[in-house]
């Protein structure tokens, strides 16, 4: 649709109103949440129950212990402190309730990709490894196998060594980021284990990877 003149102005206004509404909803959200979460306290009429903490300034560790809801759930502040992305981090994973297959299917640690005949880490790869390191820091019992893979265009023999270098690149950077060496093992599959069996640029790009497989939780 070609929006012009007053129509466009109208639309912009509508957008502004929408945004304002959204902001209002977001601002009210903690209160709404708190009224639900804290309903037992309200019903019990506990006299010294604290007021809902201010949204902006509170951090979980600053919340008084007495603020923990009776049902054992997270406090408002803890909920707000949780990072919104990725979805799997919205709440703590109960690793004991998951199989390794479930966990790997969920994919909390992500693959990184490499250039042609290269084991060098790109900025994007470093950023992903940082996320992976952060996740591993939250789950210190998790151990990973770092698999190095290559696309089909190289030779079998050299690719086995190249895959090893890719795995080692990821391993060494994660170690710099504080992941304990005893939590990581590396393995190379060369070009024996393509993620995408197709023969095109996109498949090759996907196959030149270091994959982090969770092997203990």
Partner 1 sequence: MNRRTVCLRRRPARSLAARLGVAFGGAALAAGFASPLPFLVPEAIHMEAAAQTAPGDWYLDITRPGAPVRIAIPDFTPRTDGSGAVEPSTESAETPAAAAELASVLHDDIAYAGVYRMLPRRFYSIAEAGSAEGALDYYQWESVGADILVDGDVRAEEGDLVVEVRLHAVRAQEVVFARRYRAPADARRALAHRIADDILLQAGSYQGVARTRIAFSTSREGRRGRTPGKEIYVMDYDGHGQRPVTANGSLNITPSWSPDGTALTYISYREGAPALYLAFLYQGRGQKLIGDFQSFTPAWSPDGRWIAFTSNRDGQSEIYLAAVDGSQLRRLTSHDAIDVAPTWSPNGRLIAFTSDRTGSPQIYVMDRDGLNLRRVSFEGSWNDSPAWSPSRQHSEIAYASRIERRPFDIVVHDFETRQTRQLTTGRGSNESPSWAPNGLHLVFTSNRTGDDQIFSMHRDGSNPTQLTREGRNSTPRWGSAPGPTALGGAR
Q: Which residues in this chain contact partner 1 in the complex, by CB under 8 A?
A: 116-117, 145, 153-158, 160-162, 164-165, 168, 185-189, 192-193
Tokens of 145: 């196998």
To partner 1, the closest distance from the beta carbon of 191 in angstroms equals 9
To partner 1, the closest distance from the beta carbon of 171 in angstroms equals 11
HSE of 54, CA atoms in CB hemisphere, 13 A: 2
Q: Which is nearer to partner 1, 61 or 201 (CB)?
A: 201
To partner 1, the closest distance from the beta carbon of 113 in angstroms equals 18
Q: Which is nearer to partner 1, 91 or 192 (CB)?
A: 192
To partner 1, the closest distance from the beta carbon of 170 in angstroms equals 14
Q: Which is nearer to partner 1, 122 or 158 (CB)?
A: 158
Cβ–Cβ under 8 Å, residues 127 and 180? no
To partner 1, the closest distance from the beta carbon of 101 in angstroms equals 9
To partner 1, the closest distance from the beta carbon of 162 in angstroms equals 7
Q: Which is nearer to partner 1, 93 or 146 (CB)?
A: 146
- Residue 121 DSSP code: P
Place of tokens 């992500």: 110
Among candidates 34, 135, 35, 31, which has minimal Cα distance to 92?
A: 135
For the four alpha carbons of 197, 198, 201 and 202, in that order, the dihedral sign comes to: negative
Distance CA 135, CA 154 (A): 33
Q: What value does the CA radius of gyration of the chain take, rounded to a whole number of Å?
A: 24
Q: Which is nearer to partner 1, 185 or 217 (CB)?
A: 185
- E strand map for 13-142: 112-113
Q: Which is nearer to partner 1, 93 or 150 (CB)?
A: 150
Tokens of 131: 């996320």
Distance CA 185, CA 215 (A): 10
């Amino acid at each position: 649709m070609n929006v012009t003149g007053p129509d466009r102005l109208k639309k912009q206004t509508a957008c502004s109103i929408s945004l304002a509404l959204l902001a209002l909803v977001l601002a009210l959200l903690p209160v709404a949440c708190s009224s639900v979460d804290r309903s037992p306290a309200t019903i019990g009429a506990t006299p010294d129950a604290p007021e809902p903490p201010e949204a902006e300034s509170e951090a979980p560790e600053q919340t008084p212990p007495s603020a923990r809801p009776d049902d054992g759930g997270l406090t408002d502040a803890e909920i707000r402190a949780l990072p919104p992305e990725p979805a799997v981090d919205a709440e703590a994973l109960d690793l004991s309730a998951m199989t390794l297959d479930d966990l790997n299917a969920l994919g909390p640690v992500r693959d990184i990709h490499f250039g042609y005949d290269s084991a060098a880490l790109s900025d994007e790869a470093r950023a992903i490894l940082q996320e992976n390191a952060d996740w591993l820091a939250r789950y210190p019992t998790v151990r990973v196998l770092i698999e190095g893979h290559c696309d089909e265009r190289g030779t079998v023999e050299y690719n086995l060594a190249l895959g090893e270098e890719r795995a080692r690149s990821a391993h060494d950077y994660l170690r710099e980021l504080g992941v304990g060496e005893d939590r990581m093992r590396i393995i190379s599959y060369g070009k024996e284990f393509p993620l995408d069996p197709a023969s095109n640029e996109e498949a090759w790009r996907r196959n030149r990877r270091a994959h982090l497989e969770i092997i203990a939780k």
